A and B are shown apart, each in its own frame.
Chain A
């Protein structure tokens, strides 16, 4: 079996400042990887480099493409990379507003990716949009409402539906539960866990919330100052942290 994503020695600098450096890992099909760390530790930079939003200075990001096997996404042509972004990849932004078209109805938001890959039958597009709204627990009668009329949690679920409608194999998530209250967070996590398991998705989740990775991630990378300081199985890292910073992180979680 080939890994879905192989990352080799990835580095990104902002002038003399280090964004991230020396990051290498393999992501296997169906695996969910969490990246945790404090603010400014380089986890969002890393995610942007992986997802092709930011060109890294060094390294390789090799994706196991459908037609052509493992290929370095950084040396791909731009049309190929953008095609990958709207078919096999998905990106869930922290703020739903960044990932949604706020002036377009919920159905149009979900249907956009379908139309981008060539769907031209209104009835079928709408059917799939309603089906996906149902899967993220949005009532079918909200299909023609604009995202402005939705609560924060609903917007986030809509963003997830919009991303997953083309059946991607790899999902990047940047703080998917950030800015939501805890009960909404719990429902969203429940939903995400169900979808990831059901669709056999691979995912890379960036978060500073250890509870999120505990629930969702199989494996965990801990970042500090742009480097990976510890990685391993999630339970292992959280229950028996070896690195000083990881110990600090785990002990900093508030117990209610």
Chain B
């Protein structure tokens, strides 16, 4: 495929995006505007993440793409194919083997290392957006560190539901400075945001890039008497028996049958390959992998 430049975007565009990424890494949590390009996929399908990935990829990289933790859903499959076609990079489903992971709405269960990059697809980068519609005003609030409004949202949660009911896109404070939307990851993943890998966030429609350098301090906002709690379904994985992973609830018939399975498919597969079996799991066979 010589018709495409490596990783689809032209070199000038990649340089522009890299400059935005460097700036974002220099100011953790700060939303850097960038000239987002039209991509051959609709907004909402990860145009921001794809552009950040394209700017970071080198021919030697190994790419993994996940959507809600799974490697085999439409969004993940199509983005993986996109880069196989336009960059001819190696791809993998194994978290540990990937050097660059593009993700939608999850952080892999397996801890990432210093030589990995995690790229998030972000629909709405502004954490204050639904409270303050004016972009001029929210930028001023970030500049002046006026974040009282974020707690109004959490206050509303407690007064309505008795607890902080925000379960995803849970706001965090980065290095004691910027309040950031960690993209719609479940709040179960929030404690993992302080990690060894570089984390990049790309919002294509909103034209913003922000980033967390390795080992950045990331604190989930809360009240003194209603502390942050990373929650998950109170269950073990029915396939691999894991008690510590984030679970999807799957409806299995129309008679109320359901099962809970790991949302991280690679983590579940690796555990079953190692011989762990959950309540409804069958013994792992190499052929089905």
Stretch of B15-23, B156-164, B236-244 that contacts chain A: B156-164
State the A residues within 8 Å of B (CB).
Answer: 78-79, 82, 101, 104-105, 107-108, 111-113, 115-118, 120-123, 125-126, 143-144
Judging by beta carbons under 8 Å apart, are B159 and A144 in contact? yes
Interface residues in B201-255 (C-beta closer than 8 Å to A): 223-226
A143 and B144 CA atoms in complex are apart in Å by 30
Contacting residues, chain A, for B151 (C-beta < 8 A): 115, 120
- Residue in A closest to B164 when the chains form the complex, CB atoms: A122
Question: Total number of A-B contacts with CB less than 8 angstroms?
Answer: 52
Judging by beta carbons under 8 Å apart, are A79 and B224 in contact? no
Contacting residues, chain B, for A111 (C-beta < 8 A): 152, 155
Q: How far is the CB of B75 from chain A (nearest CB, A)?
A: 31
| Main SS class of interface, A | helix
Contacting residues, chain B, for A82 (C-beta < 8 A): 144, 146
Judging by beta carbons under 8 Å apart, are B159 and A143 in contact? yes
B149 at the interface (CB under 8 A from A): yes
Given A105-B156, A116-B146, 4 more pairs with CB closer than 8 A: A104-B152, A104-B156, A143-B159, A144-B159
B148 at the interface (CB under 8 A from A): yes
Q: Which 3 pairs show the lowest CB-CB distances between chains A and B?
A: A116-B148, A115-B148, A122-B223
Contacting residues, chain B, for A120 (C-beta < 8 A): 151, 223-224
A107 and B155 CA atoms in complex are apart in Å by 9
Judging by beta carbons under 8 Å apart, are A112 and B225 in contact? no
Judging by beta carbons under 8 Å apart, are A101 and B148 in contact? no
Contacting residues, chain B, for A122 (C-beta < 8 A): 155, 158, 223-226
Contacting residues, chain B, for A125 (C-beta < 8 A): 155
Judging by beta carbons under 8 Å apart, are B155 and A115 in contact? yes
- B122-164 interface bits toward A, Cβ cutoff 8 Å, 1 = contact, 0 = none: 0000000001000000000000101011011001101110000
Q: How far is the CB of A82 from chain B (nearest CB, A)?
A: 6
Judging by beta carbons under 8 Å apart, are A115 and B224 in contact? no
The answer to whether residues A108 and B146 also contact, given A121-B223, A122-B225 and a CB cut-off of 8 A, is no
- Residue in B closest to A122 when the chains form the complex, CB atoms: B223
30 A-B pairs in the complex with CB atoms less than 8 angstroms apart: A101-B131, A101-B152, A104-B152, A104-B156, A105-B159, A107-B155, A107-B159, A108-B152, A108-B155, A108-B156, A108-B159, A111-B152, A112-B148, A112-B149, A112-B152, A115-B149, A115-B151, A115-B152, A115-B155, A116-B148, A116-B149, A121-B223, A121-B224, A121-B225, A122-B223, A122-B225, A125-B155, A126-B155, A143-B159, A144-B159
